[in-house]
Structure 1
Amino acid sequence: MFEIRIICDPTDADAITKGLAGTFTTSPPLRKPTRSGKRLRLYITADHHTGDDAYADAPPIVHELADLTDLISCYTDAGLLPPSSVEREFLLRRAALLDRMAIEEAAVSAPVAVEMAVETAEAAALTLSLFDRVKGWAGEHGPEDRLWARTSHRGYVRQEYAAWLQSTRP
């Protein structure tokens, strides 16, 4: 993890933030005007954990979405609550799917769409993290690890998804 400070033109701030978010796991930028007020200082915490490693063996997004729908519909159609293991798998795969979509949005979309995609992915990551805390789940870096508070819970999702993929592959 590292911190980045950028001084830039206010009109460039969104493009810079988008570019960094497409390369690193980043925190939302803290924006402060310079003393002159003509430029903008951006403070961003970044981590090398990109989705490339975690999602290298992941199925295409459309297949993941179909699998997720099938996973939960068999329980909801029958009016049943899924067992805890299935609920966790659903939360993990949903958070990973939203994270992957946010990564793709960062590469092709306008800053407003990227911000919304990142917020949605972060909310899903936090939901998984809270579920894992309650259930006592502990991966390499558990859901309560200070690393996630400094960077993003999306990194936790990537860690857990990569481990899940490895455990489900022959």
Structure 2
Amino acid sequence: MTGHHPHTDEGTDAPAPESAYAAALGPAAENTAVTRLQTALRHDGEYPRASLEREFRLRRAALADRLALHTRDEHDATEAARTAYELLAFDLADGRFVLGPAGPDSPTWQASARPYVRQEYERWAQLTDGGRDAMMREPGDR
């Protein structure tokens, strides 16, 4: 990719949205998964809280990014940028869950954190089949 596009945040070595979100659930199913994660964060669960919070932040940021790419609405782009920077800040504070080659402290993300979301989501989706393995577990399963 070359250059920086203000609406798609292209211009990094991060994966293109088509690649990053290839294994993603549909928007409605992903929204349901994000809501379930948010609810789980309010209760003690089977997962270490930090990993659950990281998954929530990643999936929420990816969903916002996908919506912004689809609508090209400025409000949606602002929300995508906000949630992307929240993920980046979380990973700067606790880098245990970073999956991609460029860490959250990389200067690559100074122009935009949305490509960071794509990098992290693509790798996470490869490891979890787009979150499908988590959806197949019953509450209480490990």
- Asked whether the two chains share a fold, i.e. TM above 0.5, the reply is yes
The match for 2:108 is: 147
CA deviation map 1:101-148 (0-9, x unaligned)? 000112xxxxxxx11111110010000000001002443111111111
Which TM-score applies when normalising by structure 2? 0.77
Distance in 1 separating the partners of 2:40 and 2:59: 16
Distance in 1 separating the partners of 2:69 and 2:41: 30
Cα pair 1:25 1:50 within 8 Å, conserved: no
The match for 2:31 is: 65
Distance in 2 separating the partners of 1:126 and 1:75: 20
Cα pair 1:25 1:155 within 8 Å, conserved: yes
Distance in 2 separating the partners of 1:141 and 1:127: 17
**Between Structure 1 and Structure 2, whose CA radius of gyration is higher?**
1
Count of aligned positions? 125
TM alignment of 1:31-42, pairs within 5 A: none
Cα pair 2:41 2:53 within 8 Å, conserved: no
Distance in 1 separating the partners of 2:107 and 2:101: 13
Counterpart amino acid of residue 25 in structure 1: D
Counterpart amino acid of residue 63 in structure 2: L
Q: CA deviation at 1:47?
A: 4.5
1:162 aligns with 2:122: yes
Divergent runs of 4+, >3 A: 1-4, 46-49
CA deviation map 1:61-81 (0-9, x unaligned)? 0000011111221342x4x59
* Identity fraction in percent: 36
Query: Measured at CA, do residues 168 and 123 of structure 1 come closer, stay the same or move farther in structure 2, by a change above 3 Å?
Result: same
Counterpart amino acid of residue 103 in structure 1: L
Cα pair 2:9 2:115 within 8 Å, conserved: yes
Relative CO higher for 1 or 2, CA cutoff 8 Å, sep ≥ 6? 2
Which residues of structure 2 form unaligned runs of 5+? 134-142
- CA RMSD of superposed structures (Å): 2.4
Higher strand content, 1 or 2 = 1
Which TM-score applies when normalising by structure 1? 0.65
